[in-house]
């Protein structure tokens, strides 16, 4: 050491500070790098990305390697600074030199490189990966010994964790946050579709089903001429066939099958109709949309009848209903389009709404904030809020939205006007 000039020792210390900064920045960059973008590049053949993934497969070895190199460099720099201080100013200068070195290490080997690496992890991680990979091979025995001791100590204190577990699995809520924070990278429509897919798990078939009171079918107990007229007038691709009551279900008639039969030229009677019916496909209430979508796919079905715990029919759900929850409305069925359920008043900024419309769909379409956990339809929400059967012309307010009952259908609210917020309501319901 005495044979090395002081100026050369200064140069070595500066080099060691740079090497220490390399290890510090590499550690931060590799821990902060976007794993999903990295995996995408690796799958597309990027050699550096593949190398980084290989390093991250064993985070214990990677951290051990980086800390081994960083601590060795820092201790060596400390020893050289001690030699330099002793040569120039004697033993009394060692504490001052140690303080200066500590400041230099903090600024140029820790804070500055780690900050740069945190801001631009890709620019640091990709160039550093080849060198770290080589060092990992050369120092593997020492690193394995360090990890063996460390993992043994972790087991003693009950904190052992499986090797290679980087904790990158995301929950549904975390995926939702990831999508929301990717607004600049994902088009808004695609973002809405992704959010809708995540919402499928929280929604059940009752949220989007056609309720039983709106379920149109054909009663075979009617006169045969009336049955034929109903078949001709139906706008649906599938029709529920029952006798006397919808719970006395006989089967499902596919209009496509009926059209093929009509081309045969055979006489169409009740016996032929019964031969064309399909077995009903039942869906238990409470089934999540995500699960039901998989069931539709597995069973090759597009239409199901929702039943309660007693086996009574509650309504119907179709594959198209679930798909519309993801991509938005696309059906050409005039009875189910938003235009038929919501219309804009020509006299003011109010909206005329079919009260059978789902509260959740109203909120999403009109950007309202009606409570969704109290009732599924606007009709049910009004009845629960008023705790009474309303009459046509009655006004109320729910969550700050002023409503006027336009039409009643027996004990059921038929149509409702949502008025501008500035218009006062006769009765306020929280």
Report the number of distinct structural domains present in the chain.
4
Query: Is 108 contained in some domain?
Result: yes
Are 301 and 368 part of one and the same domain? Answer: no
Are 183 and 131 part of one and the same domain? Answer: no
| pLDDT tens-place string over residues 312-363 | 999 999 998 888 888 876 655 544 445 456 776 655 678 888 888 888 888 8
| pLDDT tens-place string over residues 143-202 | 888 888 887 887 888 765 554 444 556 667 777 777 777 766 677 777 778 888 888 888
Residue 263 pLDDT exceeds 80? no
Residue 14 pLDDT exceeds 90? yes
Confidence of residue 425 (pLDDT cuts 50, 70, 90): very low
| pLDDT tens-place string over residues 45-86 | 889 999 999 888 888 888 889 999 999 999 999 999 998 888
Q: What is the phi/psi pair of residue 393, to 5°? A: 95, -15
Structure tokens at 226: 């009336």
Distance CA 235, CA 233 (A): 6
Q: What percentage of the chain carries pLDDT values higher than 90?
A: 26
Question: Closest by alpha carbon to 412, among 205, 208, 212?
Answer: 212
Report yes or no: 239 and 217 within 8 Å, Cβ to Cβ. yes
Domain limits for position 105: 6-156
CATH number for the domain including 319? Answer: 3.10.580.10
Query: Is 240 contained in some domain?
Result: yes
Q: What is the pLDDT of residue 424?
A: 42
Report yes or no: 359 and 370 within 8 Å, Cβ to Cβ. yes
Structure tokens at 156: 């003693």
Are 293 and 362 part of one and the same domain? Answer: no
Are 253 and 357 part of one and the same domain? Answer: no
Distance CA 364, CA 75 (A): 62
Query: Is 333 contained in some domain?
Result: no
Confidence of residue 373 (pLDDT cuts 50, 70, 90): confident
Question: Closest by alpha carbon to 164, among 59, 32, 33, 42?
Answer: 59
Average pLDDT over residues 219-244: 88
- Cβ count near 233 (within 10 Å): 8
Are 88 and 22 part of one and the same domain? Answer: yes
Distance CA 126, CA 51 (A): 9
Average pLDDT over residues 294-317: 91
Q: What is the pLDDT of residue 422?
A: 46
Greater model confidence, 180 or 130: 130
Greater model confidence, 281 or 372: 281
Structure tokens at 172: 């549904």
Distance CA 419, CA 404 (A): 7
DSSP state, 46? -
CATH number for the domain including 348? Answer: 3.30.465.10
Are 310 and 356 part of one and the same domain? Answer: no
Structure tokens at 222: 């009617």
Query: Is 162 contained in some domain?
Result: no
Average pLDDT over residues 97-104: 90
Query: Is 164 contained in some domain?
Result: no
- Cβ count near 202 (within 10 Å): 11
Are 176 and 36 part of one and the same domain? Answer: no
Confidence of residue 6 (pLDDT cuts 50, 70, 90): confident
CA 76 to chain centre: 50
Residue 41 pLDDT exceeds 70? yes
Are 401 and 362 part of one and the same domain? Answer: yes
Are 147 and 10 part of one and the same domain? Answer: yes
Structure tokens at 304: 């199901």
Greater model confidence, 167 or 39: 39
């Amino acid at each position: 050491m005495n044979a090395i000039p002081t100026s050369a020792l200064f140069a070595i210390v500066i080099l060691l500070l740079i090497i220490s900064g390399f290890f510090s920045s590499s550690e931060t960059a590799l821990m902060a790098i976007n794993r999903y973008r990295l995996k995408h590049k690796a799958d597309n053949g990027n050699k550096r990305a593949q190398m980084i993934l290989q390093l991250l497969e064993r985070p214990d070895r990677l951290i051990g390697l980086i800390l081994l190199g960083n601590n060795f460099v820092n201790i060596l720099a400390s020893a050289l600074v001690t030699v330099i201080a002793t040569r120039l100013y004697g033993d009394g200068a060692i504490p001052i030199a140690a303080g200066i070195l500590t400041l230099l290490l903090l600024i140029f080997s820790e804070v500055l490189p780690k900050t740069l690496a945190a801001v631009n992890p890709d620019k640091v991680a990709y160039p550093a990966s080849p060198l770290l990979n080589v060092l990992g091979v050369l120092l593997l025995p020492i690193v394995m010994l360090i990890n063996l001791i460390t993992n043994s100590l972790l087991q003693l204190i009950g904190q052992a964790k499986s090797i290679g577990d980087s904790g990158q699995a995301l929950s549904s809520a975390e995926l939702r946050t990831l999508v929301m924070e990717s607004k600049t990278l994902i088009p808004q429509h695609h973002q809405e579709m992704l959010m809708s897919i995540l919402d499928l798990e929280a929604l059940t078939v009752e949220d989007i089903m056609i309720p039983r009171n709106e379920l149109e079918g054909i009663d075979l107990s009617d006169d045969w001429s009336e049955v034929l007229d109903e078949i001709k007038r139906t706008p649906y691709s599938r029709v529920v066939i029952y006798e006397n009551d919808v719970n006395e279900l006989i089967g499902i008639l596919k209009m496509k099958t009926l059209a093929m039969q009509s081309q045969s030229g055979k006489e169409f009677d009740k016996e032929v109709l019964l031969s064309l019916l399909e077995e009903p496909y039942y869906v238990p209430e409470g089934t999540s949309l995500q699960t039901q979508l998989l069931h539709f796919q597995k069973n090759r079905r597009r239409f199901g009848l929702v039943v309660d715990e007693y086996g009574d029919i509650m309504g119907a759900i179709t594959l198209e209903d679930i798909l519309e929850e993801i991509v938005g409305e696309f059906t050409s069925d005039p009875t189910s389009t938003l235009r038929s359920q919501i219309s804009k008043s020509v006299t003011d900024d109010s909206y005329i709404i079919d009260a059978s419309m789902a509260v959740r769909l109203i909120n999403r379409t009109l950007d309202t904030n009606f409570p969704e956990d109290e009732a599924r339809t606007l009709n049910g929400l009004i009845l629960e809020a008023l705790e009474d059967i309303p009459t046509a012309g009655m006004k109320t307010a729910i969550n700050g939205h002023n409503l006027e009952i336009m039409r009643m259908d027996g004990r059921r609210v038929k149509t409702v006007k949502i008025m501008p917020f500035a218009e006062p309501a006769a009765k306020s319901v929280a």
